[in-house]
Structure 1
Amino acid sequence: MTDRNADIDEGPGLVLLLGGARSGKSTFAERLATKSGRSVAFIATAIAIDEDMRDRIARHQSSRPADWRTIEEPLHLAAALRQAAAAADVVILDCLTVWLSNWLFSQDNSAQLENDNTISARHYAGALQEIDALLQAVSELEPGKTLVVVSNEVGLGIVPAYALGRIYRDVLGLVNQRIAAAATRVYLMVAGLGVDIKRLDEAATL
């Protein structure tokens, strides 16, 4: 069931876009924002750490309308949302996947996790606290403001062979669940098409 006429509700809300690499998440988010006819701000979490990432960031920037405001924030999502929502009615956060990577490597002992066979509950709790702060900021949005969050689904492949990879996969899965539970709409992106899985879940019965 694809929602070809997907749009953004007028009231305060939260929309989550999930999918694999190159599934069309960012393009879909930008299309939703454009179709809304409202002012748009963009929270970019990526850091230009090498030439490839610099090229990716430049391509994304060039694809956005010139009147969209861009806020570059790799870590502090709640503060970035408040700043963006003060300037626009629709805010795109792209993406949680990169944000979590930034967050994990910002922790004091992340370098040691490569050789650690245990998964620290600290990393679960800390990341989820950041997401709870973001959701609190969403709950404080004025009427007519909407946050569109982009994130990857990384739990469908093989189990990572190294500890940090397992932590990343597991924490992102919990982060996605937390955002999805609070979202008014959740789209799963498949080959550029958005399937409204929240609506399907609500309709599911035995």
Structure 2
Amino acid sequence: MGKVILVTGGVRSGKSLFAEELAKKIGENILYIATAIPYDDEMRERIDVHKMFRPVSWTTYEVYKDLHEVIDSIDNKQDGILLDCVTIMITNLMFDYPSFDENNIGQSIIKEINEYIIDEFCKLLNFLKKRDINIIMVTNEIGWGLVPESKLGRVFRDISGKINQLLAREAEEVYLLVSGIPMKIK
């Protein structure tokens, strides 16, 4: 069985760069799963900057759901996987949920969205347990700040916290980055 490594920290704390360095130690043939959807020019520029630093031997897939199926469909043997970023994946899954309406999000829909997102990550983790492949997952610690003003922000924060706990429990290694400094916490 491969190893699950979780890299977490605040925004612009150096998580992606650190995760990329870890991936390079795993091997040259890395599957890079990018979960961001570029909705505007600023986001496209951010994505382009990230792409510039990736080795040419890495394969990039831009996808945010059914990752177990995506990984299973790839023919060539990968040395490892880098998933960047769990938090953006959660955002995309929330907005992708069929009954999602940010102006009318009641407790029953919140429960359904939680179950939907947890199921996506459980499917991925269960699939990885059956495969001998290492995965590095990058996520954000968003619960250290102020309580979000909007209900949608609080729902997102809560789901992100639950997913981060799930991934940290399953991970063999967890790193926290603060101001570019990695600390191994598990």
TM-score tier (shorter): over 0.9
Offset of 1:138 from its aligned partner? 1.2
Corresponding residue for residue 201 of structure 1: none
Q: Structure 1 length normalisation: TM-score? A: 0.84
Offset of 1:116 from its aligned partner? 4.2
SS at match of 2:38: coil
Offset of 1:115 from its aligned partner? 4.6
Counterparts of 2:172 and 2:75, CA distance in 1: 18
1:4-153 equivalent positions in 2, closer than 5 A? 12-83=2-73, 86-111=76-101, 113-116=102-105, 118=107, 120-142=110-132, 145-153=133-141
Counterpart selection for 1:169 from 136, 145, 157: 157
Q: 1:184 to 1:79 in 2, by over 3 A?
A: same
Corresponding residue for residue 181 of structure 1: 169
Offset of 1:117 from its aligned partner? 6.3
Q: Would you say the 8 A contact 2:27–2:80 is kept in 1? A: no
Q: 1:130 to 1:37 in 2, by over 3 A?
A: closer
Give deviations 1:71-95, integer Å, cap 9, x for gaps: 1112222223334584411100001
SS at match of 2:103: helix
Offset of 1:58 from its aligned partner? 0.7
Counterparts of 2:74 and 2:3, CA distance in 1: 15
Q: 1:193 to 1:20 in 2, by over 3 A?
A: same
* Aligned CA-pair RMSD: 1.7
Q: Structure 2 length normalisation: TM-score? A: 0.92
**Which ranges of structure 1 fall in alignment gaps of 5 or more residues?**
1-10, 199-206
Indicate the structure (1 or 2) with the bigger Cα radius of gyration: 1
Give deviations 1:42-98, integer Å, cap 9, x for gaps: 001011111011111111111101111111112222223334584411100001111
